[in-house]
Amino acid sequence: MRLSSRVLKKSLLVLTAFLLLAAFAVPVSSSYAQTDMPEVKGGEVVEKAGFKDAGEVRYRPAPKLKAEDYPRIKGVPSRLAVWFAAQMHLWFAAFVLAVPIFVFIIEALGVFKKDSRYDRVAYEFIRVSITAYSITAITGGILLFSLLVFYPDLLKYLASIFGSTMLLYALLFFVESGALYVYYYGWKPMSTGGLKWLHLAVGLVLNAAGTTLMFIANAWTTFMMSPAGVDPSGAFQGNLGAAVHNNLWNPMNLHRFISNIAYGGSIVGAYAAFKFLSSRTTEDRAHYDWMGYTANFIAIGALIPLPFAGYWLTAEIYAYSQQMGITLMGGVFAWLFIIQAVLIGSLFLSANYYLWCGMARSPGAYRYTPYVKYIAFVIFLCFLVWFTPHTIILKPAETRALGGQYHPYLAPLGLMPAKNIAVNIMVVFTYLSFLLYRRANKVPVVSWARYGNVFIVALFAAGIMNIVFLGVYYGYFTDASYKVASSIPQVATTALVIIVSLVVESAMLRGAEEVGPFQWGHVPQRSQYALVLLAVSFTWLMGLMGYVRSAIRQHWHVYSIMRDASPDAYTPTIAYAVKVVSAGTIVFMAIVVFIFWLSQLGEKA
Amino acid sequence: MKSIAAFIVSFLVLSGLFILMDKVIFNARGLSFIYQGF
């Protein structure tokens, strides 16, 4: 009875949020289509904005707004309200989209490996996300209300183009909710035989609906940055596919898909750390240690390709609009990229630190721990290169002392080629940490193990040489097009080093002997704080970079099409933006801790 | 000694393969959109 009442309450909550979304999406879409009077074209009366049965379909240009078109509420700063609501919604949405993806993967692994540990962890992951799901729906509702209250004309314009996708969004939200509740509450009743396969199929439907939801929302967001399917006045040309498939849609889809997985992994890792630190028994500590490791593994697995997806997105922003690209990385926002570099560096360092601490689980790890300091040195060096700025804000006296605007030796490190070299090497060395962790407790028995090791060392050396050569030669001694293009073979080199060494290593460790029993739970407590740091850094990073991506539109709602005429149509100072995002991060993390606590409460009940 | 020789041979062969890969990627028709964008 208790279970069904919980199901009912949560379902009602999500259903109410869905109905509110649908109830507002429909009138907004239709009111925009109906407001205008018919106009005469070619001697025949045609309706504007989307009535096919009344003749030729015509759409209005983007509205030219004035400051008085923006409703104000005394004491509520409109931009800040929308910013905060959007940020909260995105954080939770990223979490609840990502968790089902790897829950599905882990559940499938458990089925194939016939290991019940996977099933337990997967169930615990989904239980954490279920409360977050309700909050995602609530914050989505708050965002929609904020937009309706403060930016009604923008919403009307977007709805006139994307109205049908907004309805599809609401419908998919319904499908996702249904699938999620069947997936969660059906976990135990559908745990054996054919029902388990049916349960996996429900998980697949859940993920398909969730991912499609994200792609639809991405279309609206990227349209605001790189509008397509409209004429220069902003009038929709009638081809929805063109508006959806704008220049930045696919790069954003890829980047958000990967980063959501990394983010979800990091939040679940923080949950495991929280549980590990509060565990009272050795069994619980072992379980949550394993859970933290699995979540961290997923987070790092997704973090490794993430810089490359981000690079593609940025390259496409430059390709779409040089001005937007330069504003992004060469102008006012460049310094936020320095903060980004510091945060990404923290992510890599904490992820590596967690792996190094994790070597304590293996009795044979002493053979590899001496190498850790060298890996740490290289990663730290790359970290320093990554956050070396190119353009420095200087006083005249400092410029004179420096001999110019740029530092004579460090200036080249401020350019992208140096940063591309640094990030690729950082990724390769993070993988090396994983490789050492993996073999820490094993002794290979194959006869060619010695040459296998030699080959892996040669592969790393040749790969790093190639990464450095591509970055230095094409980055500094050829023209700009080659500079950007050289990043592709660099990424390919990194990917090859990882894949080939993984294959060779796996073959080498086939039938390997164990030095001693692997001990889950035997890690220092400080390693758990690295997991928490990972989650906080991810959250902060997403907030800051999300702000930058959105703010490069500057005084445009829809870039170059629909101007922002509100009193807030200016770029705030970096300090202000960082304060807003930091406050958001604190609120979000507080809610996440509350969710963890709720989950613990549910266990006790 | 054998290990050093194996390392040198592996390193040279792998470096050659990486350079070949760079050439192939730079000349790939499908990737020409990258150059056009800039």
Residue A311's pLDDT is what? Answer: 83
Of A455, A484, A489, the CB nearest to B22: A489
Residue B30's pLDDT is what? Answer: 57
pLDDT reading at A322 higher than 50: yes
pLDDT reading at A173 higher than 60: yes
Cβ of A489 within 8 Å of Cβ of B21? The answer is yes
- Name the residue in chain B with its Cα closest to that of A322: B38
Give which of A416, A424, A488, A500 to mutate to test B binding, by max B Cβ within 10 Å.
Answer: A488
Give burial (CB, 10 Å; 0-12/13-18/19+) of A500: middle
| B3 has a chain A CB within 8 A of its CB | yes
Rounded to 10 deg, the angle between the A487-508 and A306-320 helix axes is 170
Confidence at A30, pLDDT banded by 50, 70, 90: very low
Confidence at A308, pLDDT banded by 50, 70, 90: confident
d(CA A378, CA A193): 50
What Rg, from alpha-carbon coordinates, does chain A have?
26
Rounded to 10 deg, the angle between the A416-439 and A334-358 helix axes is 10
For residue range A481-496, list pLDDT tens digits in order: 777 778 889 989 999 9
| B20 has a chain A CB within 8 A of its CB | no
Of B11, B21, B25, the CB nearest to A458: B11
* CA-closest candidate to residue A317, choices A305, A327, A332: A327
How many beta-carbon pairs under 8 angstroms link A with B? 64
Cβ of A466 within 8 Å of Cβ of B18? The answer is yes
Cβ of B21 within 8 Å of Cβ of A492? The answer is yes
* CA-closest candidate to residue A205, choices A239, A241, A181, A230: A181
Q: Kindly report the nearest CA distance between residue A470 and chain B, in angstroms.
A: 8
Cβ of A485 within 8 Å of Cβ of B19? The answer is no
Cβ of A466 within 8 Å of Cβ of B15? The answer is yes
Cβ of B18 within 8 Å of Cβ of A462? The answer is yes
Cβ of B38 within 8 Å of Cβ of A481? The answer is yes
- Name the residue in chain B with its Cα closest to that of A482: B35
For residue range A357-415, list pLDDT tens digits in order: 999 899 988 999 999 999 999 999 999 998 888 877 788 898 888 888 888 888 889 88
Question: Is the CB of residue A127 less than 8 Å from the CB of residue A184?
Answer: yes
| Chain Cα centroid distance, residue A269 | 16
Of A454, A466, A489, the CB nearest to B6: A454
A38 vs A225, higher pLDDT: A225
A495 vs A192, higher pLDDT: A495
Give one DSSP letter per residue of A195-226, joined into a string. HHHHHHHHHHHHHHHHHHHHHHHHHHHHHHHS
Question: Is the CB of residue A93 less than 8 Å from the CB of residue A132?
Answer: no
For residue range A211-242, list pLDDT tens digits in order: 999 999 999 999 999 999 999 999 999 899 99
* Average pLDDT, integer, range A509-515: 88
Spell out the alpha helix ranges (H) of A42-192.
Answer: 78-113, 116-150, 152-185
* Average pLDDT, integer, range A149-154: 95
Task: List the structure tokens of B27.
Answer: 């000349």
For residue range A410-468, list pLDDT tens digits in order: 888 988 889 999 999 999 999 999 999 989 989 999 999 999 999 999 999 999 999 99
d(CA A67, CA A2): 53
For residue range A558-597, list pLDDT tens digits in order: 999 999 999 999 999 999 999 999 999 999 999 999 988 8
Cβ of A466 within 8 Å of Cβ of B11? The answer is no
Start-to-end C-alpha separation, chain A: 13
Spell out the alpha helix ranges (H) of A306-395.
Answer: 306-320, 322-329, 334-358, 369-386
d(CA A172, CA A568): 34
Residues of B in contact with A481 (CB under 8 A): 34-35, 38
Average of per-residue pLDDT values in chain A: 86
Cβ of A454 within 8 Å of Cβ of B15? The answer is no
For residue range A59-71, list pLDDT tens digits in order: 889 999 999 999 9
User: With the C-alpha atoms ordered A226, A231, A234, A240, is the resulting torsion angle positive or negative?
Assistant: negative
Model pTM score: 0.81
Cβ of A457 within 8 Å of Cβ of B31? The answer is no
A360-388: string of b/e by CB count within 10 Å (b at 16+)? ebbebbeebeeebeebbebbeebbebbbb
Cβ of B14 within 8 Å of Cβ of A470? The answer is no
Residues of B in contact with A493 (CB under 8 A): 18, 21
Of B10, B18, B26, the CB nearest to A455: B10
- Name the residue in chain B with its Cα closest to that of A470: B22
Cβ of B6 within 8 Å of Cβ of A484? The answer is no
* Average pLDDT, integer, range A151-164: 95
A439-468: string of b/e by CB count within 10 Å (b at 16+)? bbbbebeeeeeebbbbbbbbbbbbbbbbbe
d(CA A326, CA A333): 9
d(CA A276, CA A570): 46
User: Which run of H or E residues covers position A293?
Assistant: helix A282-303
Most confident of A34-43, A142-151, A486-495, B18-27: A142-151
| Chain Cα centroid distance, residue A10 | 26
In chain B, DSSP finds a helix count (H) and a strand count (E) of: 2, 0
* Average pLDDT, integer, range A176-202: 92
| B37 has a chain A CB within 8 A of its CB | yes
Kindly list the distances between the CA atom of residue A587 and the CA atoms of A202, A237, A447, A543, A591, in Å, as whole numbers in the listed order.
33, 42, 56, 12, 6
Residues of B in contact with A321 (CB under 8 A): none
Confidence at A28, pLDDT banded by 50, 70, 90: very low
Is residue A572 classed as helix, strand or coil in its secondary structure?
coil
d(CA A439, CA A433): 10
* CA-closest candidate to residue A156, choices A19, A235, A63, A21: A63
- Name the residue in chain A with its Cα closest to that of B4: A454
